[in-house]
Chain A
Amino acid sequence: MTTLTVNGESRSIKASPDTPLLYVLRDELGLNAAKYGCGLGQCGACTVIVDGKAIFSCITPVMVLEGRAIVTLEGLGSQTAPGPLQRAFIAEQAAQCGYCIPGMMMRAQALLNRDPNVTDEAIRAELQPHLCRCGTHMRILRAVRRAADELKKKSAEVRAGR
């Protein structure tokens, strides 16, 4: 039995320890945001955050994840209460088919957690491992920019409030 911490909750996993995290998230925990794209760690659709870093869940067996903090897109907000990055993607209408978007958002979130003052070049470089075949790249970049600006404004307000 493997125990995982997913979006702050401790979950007992029945699947064999060599099962990729993606299958466990989707099939056992009902967290369907992360997508199966290539199964080879090359397209980015399955990306989630582990200990603050974006990783490909399709090639990561659960046995290496015990005791580590896993965050999926469901952890960033809900349909009724979307988080800042989710609001930004909605505002920019950044999804066309939307299959790549959860992965894009998770890597973008990891980047913004690390550095909210991020440059446009850094956003582009960071999202480089992610493939999108619809071609909404410009909207995706705008959405990440919008979320970064909102986070910056908020932290400035918090500082001013003190």
Chain B
Amino acid sequence: MKLRSVLLALLAVGAIGGTGALLYAWESSIDPIDPRSAGATDTVMVRRGASLALLGDCATCHTASGGAPYAGGLAMPTPFGTIYSTNITPDPETGIGRWSEQAFVRALRSGVDREGRHLYPAFPYDHFMRVADDDAKALYAFLMSLDPVRSSAPPNGLPFPLNIRLTLAGWKLLFLHQERFVADPSKDDKWNRGKYLVDGLGHCGACHSPRNLMGAEEISASFQGGVAEGWRAYALGRSSPSPVPWDEAALTDYLARGSHPMHGTAQGPMANVADNLSLVDPADVSAMAYYLASLGKGEARTTAKIPVASGPGQQPQAAGVQVATPPLQSDPGGAIYGAVCASCHEGARPLPFGGVGLALSTALADDTPANLINLVLRGIPASTDGSTHPIMPGFGDVLDDRKISDLANYLRTQFAGKTQWDGVAKAVADARANR
């Protein structure tokens, strides 16, 4: 009898708890709108929204390879399974054509779609929660001004129970600390604008901060470096591994152009970010650089004399810029460096063919070999917009795993002056599998 009452009591507690959790997790649906009513008319707002959408890299995730911009369908591999980005064009059936401004702003800042379903945090609402009303409305106006594209994303490949969206309420309870941006009155307007963009729409920390086992950013380790799509997103500020410390001028240049003579070229996901920022209102990019510079400088790690490639047109392409390869070395990695890398990286060719001197390489100075290996395997493709950032052929089909390991070990000790990385061979195999 006693056992039975205990069981009943437990059951009652469980039911109340379960109902409570359900009530907590439950989000209401917001009424659909007539898609024809949403056509934006305020062109100034649409333009501002377009610049903000670039700053937030919206199209980068919401566009499948070869697909229509903003129509979604890009597969995003996460440690938990594959998530597909959604269609955010104003198509009434497959996009956000029936979403009111209110529904859009809720999705952006709280990660809940119009029908009340929780969105996965691959959508960085943990940053977008800081987006101000006016900016959120401008983004909505811009997206609703796009041509509607009919396109449904494939279903997500997530295991149970992660495929139950109500579980995300628990994740949000633990990791989403809803807050709006609050300006620091002790700082100037430019700093506050920069911080607002970096922490909010720019969602820099989504890649540049480490994540915990549940995929949430570690707030205590902000900008201490993270990973994105097989690439290392370097630590920013005081912990930056860059051999030459970043300053505001270098950051402004790099963010807007995707490369800097003392720091090299944006690669991997950062290449998309820089492409987008090149089209954003320059005042916003400048504010972001101003704020990022205020995070502090790392220590200078190189005293090497650095050849800086001159800009295009400042030097004839062929005159006196072809360097003889250095004498053949007995170290297997050194021999490859001399025969394969040195003629560009030690030459003083003008851009885009002038390689960055490797004493400047952040990839070599960083804690993991991931970015170096990606670079050696794939190279740096030429820009598609005619700009003159450095280019490099990939050597993935030329050098086998062993040779890439030899090369990595040589470059690391020779140019970064650090001890060899652990696990280079495994990192090479991983990078190839990721390709």
Residues of A participating in the B interface, judged by any CB pair closer than 8 Å: 16-18, 40-42, 50-51, 53-56, 59-61, 63-64
Contact = CB atoms under 8 A, between A and B. Distances in A.
B122 interface: no
Nearest to A51: B397
Contact of B403 (A53, A56, A64): A64
Contact of B336 (A16, A54, A56, A64): A64
A55 B335 CA distance: 20
B398 A64 contact: yes
B76 to A, nearest CB: 22
Contacts of A54: 397
B335 A60 contact: no
Given A16-B328, A18-B325, A42-B391, A63 B339 contact: yes
A55 B398 contact: yes
Q: Lowest 5 A-B CB distances belong to which pairs?
A: A41-B393, A18-B339, A61-B339, A53-B397, A60-B398
A83 B48 CA distance: 58
A18 B335 contact: yes
Nearest to B353: A40
B221 interface: no
Nearest to A20: B339
Contacts of B68: none
B396 to A, nearest CB: 9
B153 interface: no
B339 A17 contact: yes
B399 interface: yes
Of B325, B339, B398, B399, chain A has the most CB atoms within 10 Å of the CB of B398
14 contacts: A17-B335, A18-B325, A18-B335, A40-B393, A42-B382, A51-B397, A53-B397, A54-B397, A56-B393, A59-B393, A59-B398, A63-B336, A64-B336, A64-B398
Interface residues of B, number: 18
A17 B334 CA distance: 13
Contacts of B344: 40
A55 B400 CA distance: 13
A55 B340 CA distance: 13
A18 B399 contact: no
B352 to A, nearest CB: 9
Contacts of B336: 61, 63-64
Interface in B218-238: none
B338 interface: yes
A42 B393 contact: yes
Contact of B398 (A18, A42, A50): A50
Contacts of A40: 344, 353, 393
Contact of A18 (B338, B379, B391, B400): B338
B405 to A, nearest CB: 13
A55 B397 contact: yes
A16 B335 CA distance: 12
B394 to A, nearest CB: 9
Contacts of B391: 42
Of B325, B340, B344, chain A has the most CB atoms within 10 Å of the CB of B340
